[in-house]
Structure 1
């Protein structure tokens, strides 16, 4: 089975990847970019290709200082919980009948269990959400999914919101499952389709049915 490093080496030879590299080099000359360069690929470092059990898509990194850490939705434990992460914890609490009110925001514990916490856009200018939303990252994320689709292990995709659901068309492996819900952001979650959607328990039920260790979500 391939490694992420081997996959990145193949991707790096594509035209769009070279253009993305140039784009980021120019951006870093003029702007503060998050997450720090050394954390840009943290999701892949913490969740090896062969260990992926669940894939969660975010959007782009947090654009405020000290928040973005290379894992979607995650912030260091020293930071206040962003609203979407607060709603993720609320949903876990509803499904498992527990209170996660005092839980810190670092989701490294999930990444180490095989949850790939992937932002389709890996970088952002400080204080400018979606400033790096471009065709290069769209092609990068497409290629990452197509590589995951070559992995015949059982994998569960959690697609939250329309931007995540866009990538469903690339998910074709018969060993892979898709669970969809509204985005956990307050604007979306409060319209329905997020709270009590059951995605965390359902994901574990799928893993368990294939004799795969479940994710400890809390």
Structure 2
């Protein structure tokens, strides 16, 4: 949970590092600067501060089996809650990229979750991490220059110390592959599920069954992708 520090008349929300990730240099070297910048930003910032590290809180490094990289949180109030591509369960209609993810899942597996809340995936070791962890309401990519990317780089370096399945949809996510240590990983790199690109290689890629086959070959339990 975030804590509040008071400096004169200024109230600064300090986002606390998730316990299992706090050793990453980002939390001491970069986060204080981001905190200070966010405090000066008077726009409505999404998601709320206590949800920004939700993806990391749900998956410790040792528990992470799959990483699905996103770009930045949904800029629509009430949608983002700290996990890439995921939305609060009451959100209807689903964001278009998530709707396409579910379409591909139905084609791949025969079913999909009943809502857009993907916390059930996170509970099974799927790290749903955005490259940028905050966004001004209504301004997609509005915090792309804030410095969040350093955290994504360090997380990828950390989890790739052991075999992991990495899902990199679109060029922006694929550019992060240089931060993945070589290893016995599964690398799924296709077009983004956005309506602008999904038909250029995302549809028909069957990422969910490929991940489960890879996990099974390693003697691990598959992911229940339809779990709510």
**TM-score scaled by length of structure 2:** 0.86
Residues in 1 aligned to 2:117 and 2:213: alpha-carbon distance in whole angstroms? 24
User: In structure 1, the residue corresponding to 2:147 is in which secondary structure?
Assistant: helix
* TM-aligned CA distance change 1:38 to 1:17, over 3 Å: closer
Residues in 1 aligned to 2:110 and 2:149: alpha-carbon distance in whole angstroms? 37
More deviation, 128-137/105-114: 128-137
Residues in 1 aligned to 2:128 and 2:191: alpha-carbon distance in whole angstroms? 17
Residues in 2 aligned to 1:189 and 1:67: alpha-carbon distance in whole angstroms? 21
Aligned residues: 208
Cα deviation, residue 97, structure 1: 2.9
Q: Deviations over 1:89-114 (max 9, x none)?
A: 0001001134x4x8211000100010
Instruction: Report the counterpart of residue 202 of structure 1 in structure 2.
Output: 210
Instruction: Report the counterpart of residue 217 of structure 1 in structure 2.
Output: 225
Instruction: Report the counterpart of residue 104 of structure 2 in structure 1.
Output: 91
Cα deviation, residue 19, structure 1: 1.9
Instruction: Report the counterpart of residue 68 of structure 2 in structure 1.
Output: 56
* Structure 1 vs Structure 2 CA RMSD: 1.7
Higher helix share: 1
Unaligned runs of 5+ in 1: none
- The structure 1 residue matched to 2:185, chosen from 162, 176, 179, is 176
- The structure 1 residue matched to 2:149, chosen from 126, 135, 138, is 138
Residues in 2 aligned to 1:206 and 1:4: alpha-carbon distance in whole angstroms? 29
- The structure 2 residue matched to 1:124, chosen from 119, 135, 154, is 135
Cα deviation, residue 147, structure 1: 1.6
User: In structure 2, the residue corresponding to 1:116 is in which secondary structure?
Assistant: strand
1:13 aligns to 2:28 (yes or no): yes
Does the 8 A contact of 1:4 with 1:49 survive in 2?
no
Q: Deviations over 1:156-188 (max 9, x none)?
A: 000100111011111123132211111001111
4+ residue runs of structure 1 moved beyond 3 angstroms?
Answer: none
Does the 8 A contact of 2:34 with 2:146 survive in 1?
no
Does the 8 A contact of 1:54 with 1:114 survive in 2?
yes
Does the 8 A contact of 1:92 with 1:200 survive in 2?
yes
**TM-score scaled by length of structure 1:** 0.90
Cα deviation, residue 9, structure 1: 4.4
Unaligned runs of 5+ in 2: 1-16
